[in-house]
Amino acid sequence: MITRFRQIEMRLMGPLTMIPIVLLLVILGTIAALPVVATILSELVADFVPPALQHLTIVVLGTAGFVGILALNPIYSIWLERKVAAHVQDRLGPMRVGWHGLLQSFADGVKLMFKEDLVPRDADRVLFGAAPMLAVASAFAAFAIVPWGVREDGTVLAVANLNIGVLYFIAITSLGALAVLMAGWGSNNKYALYGGMRAAAQMVSYEIPTAILVLVVVAQVGSLSIPDIVNAQAGGILGVGDWLIFQLFPLNLIAFVLFFICGLAETNRTPFDIPEAESELVAGFHTEYSGMRFAFFFLAEYGNMLLVSMLAALLFLGGWIGPFGSNPLLFFVKGFGLVVVQMWLRWTLPRLRVDQLMGICWKYVIPISFFLLVVTTVIKGLL
């Protein structure tokens, strides 16, 4: 009986499994060929769209592209996270739905879509409804300034090539704290309130060292524009030697590690996941959320994970510059590699307590960041 059931399942799942695999290959292929794709697209736009709308069309197309990637990101990331967790814990993880459980996240997504959208009776409906949207919006909006690479003529492959990109990044990510606070307050639940308050305190505190560490990079490169920062890291041994992380050794290495720690804290990942500390606060700020609103928080969380990883890759690991020439795919792989490191940490480390977390920020991370800023600036000035 069970074998028969399994056979039917296999027959159904076999072709369906191809969907995520093909989708992934298409996405990766597009990213790898992004300079070519962008050239073709801009030529098409130049041919068929009236001149007044050309710029707008390109921005819309670019936005659609990265929103598509971000919407699919949780599906692969959650699958990857569950696989990483499973293998850390000596088990298999999802195996039944599709090839090695690849369709599991799709199934979960469908389930979340059809779940009843519960709102607690005494909740603040406006804040409760707006919080997940704001969370997603802040996570997605920050991606607008992420440059994916450069074309041969020097044009940057970004939706918005701002000359103050890093400032925009710092400003937009602050909105995430507001969303979490709104969710915690609007739920009218004491556990959610605790989660929201913790999140606000944590995110606001860790924004300070993040900004200082970004300044460390800016002070060395002399530009607020992210493409300039990446271009300054080109060259060197094997195309790797001039990555910022290897310059002024070990100052920039420390800066990178601290930046990554701040990223963990800003995205509420273990060991800094106290806003949703499962064993203390049930689920923290999203205790009362279900269905798609809950899924939105997931979307935002995985979007933020990818964002801080990509930013770390851009600022310290040379972005799209690597030993085999420059390619957007290389940048994507670097970003996703750091996401995997985040997952690895999550399934290995326990959680800090809220006062210890703040202690680490104010007693260690901020002073060291200031020290790094001063020292790197002085060295740059002397050189």
Partner 1 sequence: MAEQRSPVDGAPLVTLYDEELPPDNSYAFSPEELEEDEMILNMGPQHPSTHGVLRVELKTDGEIVKDARPHIGYLHRNFEKHAENIDYQGVIPFTDRMDYVGSMGNSLAYALTVEKLLGIGVGERVAGIRVITAELQRIASHLLAMGTYGMDIGAFTPFLLCFQQRERILDLFEWLCGARLLYNYNWVGGVSHDLPEGWTDKCRRFLDEFVPVLDEVDKLLSHNKIFIRRTADIGIITPEMAKDYALSGPNLRGSGIDWDLRRDDPYLGYENYDFNVVVATSPHGPVGSCWDRYFVRVREMYESVKIVRQALDRLPAEGDVHENVPRFVRPLAGEAYCRSEAPRGELAFYIVAENKKPIPYRVKGRSPCFVAMGLFHEITRGEMIADIIAIIGSLDIVLGEIDR
Cβ atoms 143, 303 nearer than 8 A: yes
Of 83 and 334, CB closest to partner 1: 83
Of 189 and 376, CB closest to partner 1: 189
The letter for the amino acid at 118 is L
Pairing mode, strands 321-322 and 325-326? antiparallel
Per-residue mark of binding to partner 1, 152-191 (x: CB under 8 A): --------------------------------------x-
347 near partner 1, judged by CB under 8 A: yes
What residue has token string 């850390």?
88
Helix 165-186 to helix 291-316 angle (10° resolution) is 150
Number of neighbours of residue 89 by Cβ within 10 angstroms: 10
What is the distance of C-alpha 242 from the center of its chain? 25
Distance between CA atoms of residues 19 and 4, nearest Å: 24
Q: How many residues bind partner 1 (CB under 8 A)?
A: 27
Stretch that binds partner 1, among 40-48, 304-312, 326-334, 342-350 (CB under 8 A): 342-350
Exactly one of 20, 94, 227, 271 binds partner 1 (CB under 8 A); which one? 271
Of 164 and 349, CB closest to partner 1: 349
89 near partner 1, judged by CB under 8 A: yes
Exactly one of 22, 111, 356, 378 binds partner 1 (CB under 8 A); which one? 356
**CB-based burial label for 219 (10 Å; 0-12, 13-18, 19+):** middle
Instruction: Give the containing element (helix H, strand E) for 121.
Output: none
Number of neighbours of residue 381 by Cβ within 10 angstroms: 8
Bond into 227 cis (ω within 30)? no
What is the CA angle 317-300-59, rounded to 5?
70
Exactly one of 2, 91, 122, 154 binds partner 1 (CB under 8 A); which one? 91
Stretch that binds partner 1, among 29-37, 115-123, 128-136, 352-360 (CB under 8 A): 352-360
Distance between CA atoms of residues 66 and 70, nearest Å: 6
Exactly one of 254, 265, 274, 310 binds partner 1 (CB under 8 A); which one? 274
Collapsing DSSP states into helix, strand and coil, what is residue 322?
A: strand
Of 243 and 272, CB closest to partner 1: 272
Exactly one of 90, 116, 152, 153 binds partner 1 (CB under 8 A); which one? 90
Cβ atoms 264, 342 nearer than 8 A: yes
Per-residue mark of binding to partner 1, 130-149 (x: CB under 8 A): --------------------
Stretch that binds partner 1, among 161-169, 245-253, 275-283, 373-381 (CB under 8 A): 275-283
Minimum CB separation of residue 115 from partner 1 in Å reads: 20
88 near partner 1, judged by CB under 8 A: yes
Of 25 and 92, CB closest to partner 1: 92
Exactly one of 275, 330, 351, 369 binds partner 1 (CB under 8 A); which one? 351
Cβ atoms 185, 345 nearer than 8 A: no
Per-residue mark of binding to partner 1, 278-297 (x: CB under 8 A): xxxxx---------------
Of 77 and 287, CB closest to partner 1: 287
Minimum CB separation of residue 357 from partner 1 in Å reads: 10
Cβ atoms 334, 245 nearer than 8 A: no
81 near partner 1, judged by CB under 8 A: no
- DSSP β-bridge partners for residue 326: 321
The letter for the amino acid at 163 is N
Per-residue mark of binding to partner 1, 187-216 (x: CB under 8 A): ---x---x----------------------
Minimum CB separation of residue 280 from partner 1 in Å reads: 5
Minimum CB separation of residue 344 from partner 1 in Å reads: 11
Cβ atoms 287, 195 nearer than 8 A: yes
Q: What six digits make up the tokens of 20?
A: 């995520």
Tell me 275's DSSP state.
G
Rule CB under 8 A: which residues touch partner 1? 85, 88-91, 190, 194, 270-271, 273-274, 277-282, 347-356
